[in-house]
Amino acid sequence: MSVPTDSSPEVAPPPAHRFIAFFLPQFHPIPENDEWWGPGFTEWSNVAKGRPLFAGHQQPHLPADLGFYDLRLAETRVAQAALAADHGITGFCYYHYWFEGRRLLHRPFEAVLESGEPDLPFCLCWANENWTRIWDGSHRHVLLQQTYSEDDDLRHIRWLAEAFSDNRYIRVGSRPLFLVYRAGHLPDAARTADLWRSEAQRLGVGDIYLCAVEGLAARIDPAAVGFDAAVQFSPDITNLGKRVNYPKPPVRALRRVVRPRSPYRLNTVFDYREAVSRDLALAPPPYKRYPCVSPGWDNSARRRNGGARILVNSSPEEYERWVRGVVRSFEPYTPEENLVFVNAWNEWAEGNHLEPSQLWGRSYLEVHSRLRAEA
């Protein structure tokens, strides 16, 4: 007598960690940027103007495999997804720009949603900051103001429900994952969270899994605002260590006279290696928070008149030390609550990109390939 067998296909267990890379869509022209910055402006306009400010300063950051791409092209989006998937990146977290129903830089993601390609998991992060001339989301030099209302919360979640319904959308269990970059800016975050949850369930997309991003030193207990978890945003500007080439007060006073335009005075320069060590030494917070790693940081291409924050001595080896340290120390809260974020896939003008560069090739991506092979 034959022994009955279960013919249903085996379901692979979830990976120990899912790596989600933040994705910047500002690599195609839009009318607003044409008006504010000049015809044809994209992020590449900033990248190409990057210049080294001191000996050993890596600028400009220039792309390799994908070149100076245009995100309106399906071929570009497919090639990006293939690179990510081939090297162990689970999916992209697209920045989503919503200003009371007005969306910016939405064309690439809309094409992903409408075409069904590429077949790479994704989620959204609402970049709910002011759109400013100096790229910092502050109240200075505002180009487009971020405002809030209950009616807009409803319009927003109704638009988001379409994305949440996509079978590629990243979930925690059955719950679609949605990040808010500045949850502390919401007038009543808990009310917004409640409204979003009830409306999402009414629309049939289920309970959403809300995460508050800890950007630019913001710390927030997610439970206090009705969110499920926080997301670390690296590098943590409050924990970078000592400034490089930052002398004692008497020497600083002399330099103000002798070298008033010194790049070390006009910008803040830190050592990536020390930043990695300090991050790995941090105790976990007393609330649920997902870790984040970054291949580097240098926004001097965007801030050519000073005010840049620059991490020097980034390398694939140091990045691998950071990623492996996080993997060792971060124990997922549940098998599905196993997210590790990467800042970022393609922030070229801020010097933090997994995409291949002319200097390093695919070396940063290959860190994730090795981790996947060892899992």
- Domains of the chain, start order: 18-242+271-302+314-374 (3.20.20.80)
**pTM summary value:** 0.92
Residues 216-263: tens digit of each pLDDT: 767 889 999 999 999 999 999 999 999 988 656 655 555 565 566 778
Q: Report percent pLDDT > 90 for the chain.
A: 82
In the prediction, which pLDDT does 153 show? 98
Q: Which amino acid is at 179?
A: L
CA separation for the pair 233, 272 (Å, rounded): 15
Which pLDDT value is given to residue 12? 55
Contacts of 336 (CB under 8 A, 6+ apart): 14, 171, 172, 173
* Cβ atoms 279, 328 nearer than 8 A: no
For residues 158 and 205, what is the distance between their CA atoms, to the nearest angstrom? 10
Single out the residue of 51, 45, 54, 12 nearest to residue 26, CA to CA.
Answer: 45
The rounded distance, in Å, linking the Cα atoms of 142 and 144 is 6
pLDDT at residue number 348: 98
- Band (pLDDT 50/70/90 cuts) for residue 265 is confident
DSSP strand E in the chain: where?
18-23, 91-99, 102-104, 122-126, 131-132, 142-144, 171-172, 175-180, 209-214, 229-232, 268-271, 289-290, 292-293, 309-312, 339-342, 346-347, 352-353
pLDDT exceeds 50 at position 4: no
Q: Please give the Cα distance from 308 to 304 (Å, whole number).
A: 8
pLDDT tens digits, 336-354: 999 999 999 999 999 999 9
pLDDT tens readout for residues 122-170: 999 999 999 887 654 455 678 999 999 999 999 999 999 999 999 999 9
| Predicted local distance difference test score (pLDDT) of residue 220 | 85
Is 323 in contact with 273 (CB distance < 8 Å)? no
